[in-house]
């Protein structure tokens, strides 16, 4: 039996992001209680955002290499990041969610830790040995989104020689894209 919320759930899942965006904006304008909820979910003060130290410098200091894991249980290393942002506290408002320039994903800035982000610092290229019969002059480029999806084991990262199938080699803080997250985002 279909529950009452099911068609609505499906409609949410199917709606393009910009439509949902417009609906939220309208609710924000027209409905007082919605304004409060939306603000609470999407806006925080600067001191609530966790971003590590000096991450605007773009230095890799806060990242560490991920060993090809013989101990997959890294729980002993997990620690509460209490002193993550020992910067001056600021009550200025800012967006809660941001786009990470390293892993190229959205993240919640209130839950960012030095182990949140997994990424490769270098690019990944098609391994031509893995495409022995592929002549780019007649078959087109090896490096296409379709090939990446269908043959992830044939694409290798320069930083670590791992493939698209394997875990990224670095772990660190998500680093916020301060230059216009919306533009970069693939919808």
Binding stretches for Zn ion (CB under 5 A): 100, 102-103, 117, 120, 157, 159-160, 169, 174
Nearer to Zn ion, 142 or 156 (CB): 156
Partners of 117 in the beta sheet?
172
Nearer to Zn ion, 137 or 183 (CB): 183
Nearer to Zn ion, 92 or 186 (CB): 186
Q: Are 39 and 96 in contact (CB under 8 A)?
A: no
Q: Are 114 and 82 in contact (CB under 8 A)?
A: no
* Nearest-angstrom CA–CA distance, 170 and 77: 15
Nearer to Zn ion, 94 or 134 (CB): 94
Reduce the secondary structure of 72-137 to three states and give it as a string.
Answer: CCCHHHCCCCCCCCCCCCCCCEEECEEEECCCCCEEEHHHCCCCCEEECCCCEEECHHHCCCCCHH
* Nearest-angstrom CA–CA distance, 63 and 22: 38
Shortest spacing between CB 34 and Zn ion, in angstroms = 30
Shortest spacing between CB 27 and Zn ion, in angstroms = 30
Shortest spacing between CB 90 and Zn ion, in angstroms = 23
Shortest spacing between CB 131 and Zn ion, in angstroms = 21
Nearer to Zn ion, 27 or 164 (CB): 164
Shortest spacing between CB 184 and Zn ion, in angstroms = 13
Q: What DSSP string runs through 164-175?
A: TTSPPSEEE---
């Amino acid at each position: 039996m279909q529950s009452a919320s099911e068609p609505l759930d499906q409609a949410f899942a199917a709606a393009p992001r910009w439509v949902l965006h417009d609906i939220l904006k309208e609710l924000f304008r027209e409905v007082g209680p919605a304004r409060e909820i939306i603000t609470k979910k999407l806006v925080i003060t600067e001191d609530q955002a966790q971003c590590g130290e000096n991450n605007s410098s773009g230095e890799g200091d806060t990242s560490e290499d991920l060993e090809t894991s013989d101990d997959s249980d890294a729980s002993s290393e997990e620690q509460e990041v209490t002193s993550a942002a020992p910067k001056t506290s600021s009550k200025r408002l800012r967006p809660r969610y941001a786009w990470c320039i390293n892993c190229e994903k959205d993240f919640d800035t209130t839950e960012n830790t030095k182990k949140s982000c997994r990424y490769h610092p270098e690019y990944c290229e098609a391994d031509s040995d893995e495409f022995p019969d592929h002549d780019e002059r007649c078959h087109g480029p090896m490096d296409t989104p379709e090939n990446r999806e269908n043959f992830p084991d044939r694409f290798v990262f320069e930083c670590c020689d791992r493939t698209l199938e394997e875990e990224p080699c670095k772990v660190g803080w998500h680093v916020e894209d301060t230059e216009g997250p919306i533009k970069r985002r693939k919808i």
